[in-house]
């Protein structure tokens, strides 16, 4: 059943904790109800804004929209099947409303590899492809097979349910077509993932590898599946650096790690030999946190917003602030990094204005 609330408060539904009201908050229990939601929005002459866990959005004010939430459902493990071609591969269908962290716990506890490095990322599964969530050398694209959802009607084309192959979704570093040319056109209703029963830990991050080695020794007697153990170590690592949004409002990394040309990177490295850098498809990726840190922003406070004191890439809101305050601080940081390093930072969370 579709549940509708008029003038709904969204303060608890965005991890930055900004005050905002939606004209309507609508909860759909199953994908088949989406046409009803869109008909309702049409009758109100309002757009539909799908909201996941609210962990990657910046609300600038009230939303003159029908905000859509999809209700979480239990995972149907009977749908989960072993691939006929590859007997070690497990195919799993996950409803959009399912909490990402719960999914990581469920799958790693069963001993499946694939999502363990993505532990403790906030939000719902359905939002994961939009920015192709990633951490510790792994991204969703590594296990995503397909995305199920609903195309809105446009240019004479009727609305329709569809299944999109992951390779057609333009998944890149914190990017996808869902944020670009498909923005506002497709509502994700479920993910199809391919996980593995075979041991394939991805431990390129020195921190992760070192901590896992210690943990393994400590826990030799405990019969815990390896993916669950890795997820636990990732959880500890994240907790040591990133603030818990339930205690200190934030939206994770506020900027993407910038990719610059190899030539610019070489020049910068001459001036700053310590700059953390990684090879990237079109050049060289720099650690935005390091650049911001070097400009002296770690722990900075500007009224009710600030920069986290453990991780310079995370902006925080201590209560009573607004998106305007946060964006002013972001602008201050962006200009400082630009003038010192000639590197342009790009915002990561979505700025919502409807
Ligand atoms: N660093 C600093 N100062 C800081 C924090 C970090 O100099 O305040 C340095 C570190 O020493 C390190 C480098 O910056 O050399 C990179 O730091 P870290 O390994 O903590 O990762 P990150 O690049 O800052 C990215 C993701 C995170 C993800 C981690 C781990 C982006 C935008 N962020 O952060 O993702 O958890 O790697 O894989 O790619 C998120 O997207 O919300 C997020 C938290």
End-to-end CA distance of the chain: 26
- What is the atom index within ligand 1 of the atom nearest the CA of 293? 3
User: Whose C-alpha lies nearest to ligand 1, atom 6?
Assistant: 289
Task: Decide: helix, strand or coil at residue 111.
Answer: coil
Mean pLDDT, range 315-320, rounded to an integer: 98
Say what the pLDDT of residue 156 is: 85
Structure token pair of residue 143? 């296990």
Q: What percent of the chain has pLDDT over 70?
A: 97
**Mean pLDDT value across the chain:** 94
Residue 303 contacts residue 321 (beta carbons within 8 Å): yes
Say what the pLDDT of residue 79 is: 59
Say what the pLDDT of residue 249 is: 98
Would you give the distance in Å from CA 23 to the centre of its chain?
25
Say what the pLDDT of residue 325 is: 98
pLDDT tens-digit map of 74-86: 887 765 666 666 7
In the block, residue with structure tokens 């996808």: 176
Query: Which of 55, 313, 316 has most ligand 1 atoms within 8 Å of its beta carbon, as the pocket-test mutant?
Result: 313
Strand ranges of the sheet holding 249-253, from the earlier edge strand across to the other edge: 249-253, 314-317, 305-307, 301-302
Residue 69 contacts residue 76 (beta carbons within 8 Å): no
Ligand 1 pocket, Cβ-based, cut-off 6 angstroms: 135-136, 241-242, 252-253, 256-257, 276, 287, 289-290, 293, 298, 311-313, 348
Mean pLDDT, range 257-283, rounded to an integer: 95
Mean pLDDT, range 313-340, rounded to an integer: 98
On the question of pLDDT at 344 being above 90, the answer is yes
Structure token pair of residue 133? 């969530």
Structure token pair of residue 124? 């719902």
What confidence category does residue 264 fall into, taking pLDDT thresholds of 50, 70 and 90?
very high
Task: Name the helix (H) or strand (E) containing 7.
Answer: strand 3-9
Give the pairing of strands 63-70 and 81-82. Answer: unpaired
On the question of pLDDT at 221 being above 80, the answer is no
Say what the pLDDT of residue 82 is: 66
Instruction: Say whether 55 is catalytic.
Output: no
Which residues are CB-neighbours of 314 under 8 A, at least 6 positions away?
242, 243, 250, 252, 253, 254, 307, 308
Task: Decide: helix, strand or coil at residue 91.
Answer: strand
Say what the pLDDT of residue 2 is: 95
pLDDT tens-digit map of 176-205: 999 999 999 999 999 999 999 998 899 999
Among 55, 174, 176, 232, the one annotated catalytic: 174
Which residues are CB-neighbours of 97 under 8 A, at least 6 positions away?
69, 70, 71, 72, 73, 124, 125, 126
Query: Helices 206-218 and 226-241, interaxial angle, to 10°?
Result: 120
Domains defined along the chain, listed by start? 3-70 (3.30.43.10), 77-241 (3.30.465.10), 249-352 (3.90.78.10)
Q: For residue 287, how far is its CA from the centre of ligand 1 (angstroms)?
A: 7
Say what the pLDDT of residue 219 is: 67
Q: How many helices (H) and strands (E) does the chain have?
A: 7, 20
Residue 73 contacts residue 95 (beta carbons within 8 Å): yes
pLDDT tens-digit map of 122-162: 999 999 999 999 999 999 999 999 999 999 988 888 999 99
Structure token pair of residue 92? 């799993």
On the question of pLDDT at 269 being above 80, the answer is yes
Residue 184 contacts residue 197 (beta carbons within 8 Å): no
Say what the pLDDT of residue 78 is: 67
Mean pLDDT, range 171-177, rounded to an integer: 97
Which residues are CB-neighbours of 77 under 8 A, at least 6 positions away?
none
């Amino acid at each position: 059943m579709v549940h509708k609330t008029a003038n709904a408060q969204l303060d608890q539904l965005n991890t930055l904790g900004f005050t905002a009201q939606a004209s309507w908050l609508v909860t759909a229990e199953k994908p088949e109800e989406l046409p009803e939601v869109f008909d309702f929005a049409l009758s109100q002459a309002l757009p539909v804004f799908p909201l996941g866990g609210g962990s990657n959005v910046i609300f600038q004010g009230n939303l003159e929209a029908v905000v859509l939430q999809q209700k979480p459902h239990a995972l149907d493990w009977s749908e989960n099947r072993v691939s006929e071609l590859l007997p070690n591969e497990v195919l799993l269908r996950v409803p959009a409303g399912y909490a990402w962290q719960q999914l990581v716990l469920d799958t790693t506890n069963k001993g499946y590899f694939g999502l363990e490095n993505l532990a403790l990322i906030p939000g719902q599964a359905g939002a994961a492809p939009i920015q192709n969530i990633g951490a510790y050398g792994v991204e969703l694209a590594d296990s995503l097979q397909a995305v199920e959802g609903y195309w809105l009607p446009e240019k004479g084309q009727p609305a329709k349910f569809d299944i999109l192959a992951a390779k057609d979704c333009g998944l890149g570093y914190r990017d996808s077509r869902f944020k670009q040319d498909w923005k506002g056109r497709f509502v994700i209703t479920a993910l199809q993932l391919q996980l593995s029963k075979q041991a394939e830990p991805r431990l390129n991050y020195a921190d992760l590898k070192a901590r896992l080695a210690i943990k393994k020794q400590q826990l030799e007697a405990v019969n815990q599946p390896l993916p669950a153990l890795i997820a636990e170590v990732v959880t500890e690592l994240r907790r040591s650096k990133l603030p818990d949004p339930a205690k200190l409002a934030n939206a994770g990394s506020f900027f993407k790690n910038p990719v610059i040309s190899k030539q610019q990177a070489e020049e910068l490295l001459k001036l700053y030999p310590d700059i953390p850098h990684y090879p990237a498809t079109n050049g060289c990726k720099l650690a935005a946190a390091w650049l911001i840190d070097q400009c002296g922003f770690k722990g900075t406070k500007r009224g009710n917003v600030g920069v986290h004191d453990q991780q310079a890439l995370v902006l925080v809101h201590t209560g009573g602030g607004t998106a305007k305050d946060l964006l002013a601080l972001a602008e201050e940081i962006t200009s400082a990094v630009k003038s010192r390093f000639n590197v342009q930072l790009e915002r990561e969370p979505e700025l919502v204005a409807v």
